[in-house]
Amino acid sequence: MASLRRPHRKSRQGCRECKRRKVKCDEIRPSCFNCTRYSVQCVYGVQDPQQENVWSPPAQTTACNALDRPSAESEASAHPRAETILPNGTGIPCSGDSWKQDLELMHHYCTVTSNTMACQESARHVWRVIFPQEGYVHEYLMHGILSLAALHKAFLIPSQRDIYLTQSSFHHSIGQKTFTALLNNVTSANWQPIFSFATIVVAYVLSHSIRASGDSESETTPITKTLELFSVTKGIKAVLLPFIPQLNHTRLAPLVTSVWLAPVDPVTDSWVWPRDTRAAEADLTPRKPSLEYSMLPDDVFFALSCLRRYLSEAESPEIKVDYDKAVTILEVSAIQIAYADVNVEVGAILLWPFFLPDTVIADIRQRKPCGLVILAYYAVFVNTLDRIYWFLRGWGQELLKDIENEIGGQEQSREMLMWPRRHIGGK
């Protein structure tokens, strides 16, 4: 008697790998049992009706255009595609190696760099999680993230410094182009990613000593680079100031709350130091904290009071009030740093340029003695964080050296540099 024929058990809807191997596919998605077992890619046929609505990337996706996803504000249209720009300006499309480099940088940022940008965990979370999440939507911010990661690797691996600096400059220039265009139209819908990129820009500017190389930077002095920081900070303030009150109600809030720790009334543009010194000291609340566990010199408040006295005698009455305010902002910064103990955020040294009167900045730009002297005291604050933040390494020391060269033989001004020299020099 003829044997019964076994029913055909193979599926016509199975994956390509099972069809190639002529075995039954259980059609489990996204990967069937056989493909999972043999660790191979499970791909179903294009004729599968369930696959018709699944998006697939272009056949020739490159390293750079993989980052060219349109954002909510369609910022991609505001700048050229990344694949059309290279650091050497050749316009040659990116290769597969470039895609690998970007993955390397992103991995380094998420696992290493982000944790070096802040001390307090709440602020680290913003750098490690919130910024990348925003970067997935806003391409220019992603370029900023990759730029910062490359800069960090240039610092960590001196033998490959030039390679990573080139990558950092490449990503920064692309992100900066879109960022600059968006500054003309900051709205409630896009100000948060703009603020995020601006934060990265500040870190990029602060990394001058890392980016400085050879003759290309020989004419850019530390004073000039510090003035660039002031300019960037003032520019960000002018554009984003209307949205700052909303910051505490967003995921970016720790960037500010981790800096402003003591209940000192914020210094506004209209704020002036009272003529009565006793009233001024009463207005500065809370009382000056203990510096026992602070990273600041234990005589910082005494030094600032001496600086105030020197400036009041050296400057004309019409601009003395601006220098009073500049010293007060240093005192407020010192209070915030003191309350932070050893967990000082880099934003603590940005309070001074954020509120610094334009008159003082102009004097620094013109290399006037009073402007240079107060800048030297600011250098002590920068130097305090030198041991914490890699991108600040050497800045305070180089800045003081440049100031000393500018002051030259002006005896009275040089005497006022004794305190900064004692806490920075011989490092």
222-240 and 369-384 are packed helices; what angle lies between their axes, rounded to 10 degrees? 80
- Enumerate the β-bridge partners of residue 44: 15
**Are the C-beta atoms of 396 and 379 separated by less than 8 Å?**
yes
pLDDT tens digits for range 6-31: 444 445 678 877 777 777 787 777 77
| Separation CA 256–CA 260 (nearest Å) | 6
- For the residues 127-137, what does the mean pLDDT come to? 97
For residue 138, pLDDT beyond 80: yes
Which class does domain 16-44 fall in?
Answer: few secondary structures
Q: Which residue type does 229 have?
A: L
Residue with tokens 């505490």: 248
Residues 374/378/380/385 CA torsion (nearest 10 deg): 180
What CA–CA distance (Å, rounded) separates 168 from 79?
Answer: 18
pLDDT at position 346, please?
95
Residue 19, both tokens:
């069809």
pLDDT tens digits for range 256-303: 999 988 766 544 444 333 333 333 333 444 467 778 888 899 999 999
Band of pLDDT at residue 420, cut at 50, 70 and 90: very high
Distance of CA 26 to CAs 6, 42, 49, Å? Answer: 18, 12, 17
Which two tokens mark 127? 């750098």
* SS3 assignment, position 44: strand
Closest Cα partner for 320 from 334, 333, 308? 308
Strands (E) across 156-276 are located at: none
Whether omega before 317 lies within 30 degrees of 0, making that bond cis, reads no
Q: What is the DSSP letter of 409?
A: T
Q: Are 210 and 393 in contact (CB under 8 A)?
A: yes
Calculate what percentage of the chain has a pLDDT beyond 90.
58
State the residue for tokens 């990573």: 164
User: For the chain, what are the domain ranges?
Assistant: 16-44, 66-206, 258-424
d(CA 278, CA 269): 22
Instruction: Report the residue count for the chain.
Output: 427
Contact 199, 232 (CB under 8 A): no
303 close to 288: Cβ distance less than 8 angstroms: no
Q: Is the dihedral of CA 42, 45, 49, 55 positive or negative?
A: positive
> CA 176 to CA 63: how far, in whole Å?
20
Q: Which of 195, 128, 205 is nearest to 172 (CA)?
A: 205
Q: Do the Cβ atoms of 13 and 51 come closer than 8 Å?
A: no
Comparing 68 with 126, which gets the higher pLDDT?
126
pLDDT average, residue stretch 52-74: 33
Q: Where are the alpha helices (DSSP H) in 341-417?
A: 351-355, 358-365, 369-384, 395-407, 411-415
CB of 254 closer than 8 Å to CB of 120: yes
**Residue 84 pLDDT > 80:** no
For tokens 């190389």, the residue is 213
For the record, the structure tokens of 42 come out as 């499970």
The pLDDT score that the predictor gives to residue 11 is 52
Q: How confident is the model at residue 195 (pLDDT cuts 50, 70, 90)?
A: very high
Tell me the per-residue pLDDT of 340-377, one tens digit each, with 9 for 90 and over: 988 999 999 999 999 999 999 999 999 999 999 999 99
Cα separation, 353 vs 336, whole angstroms: 15
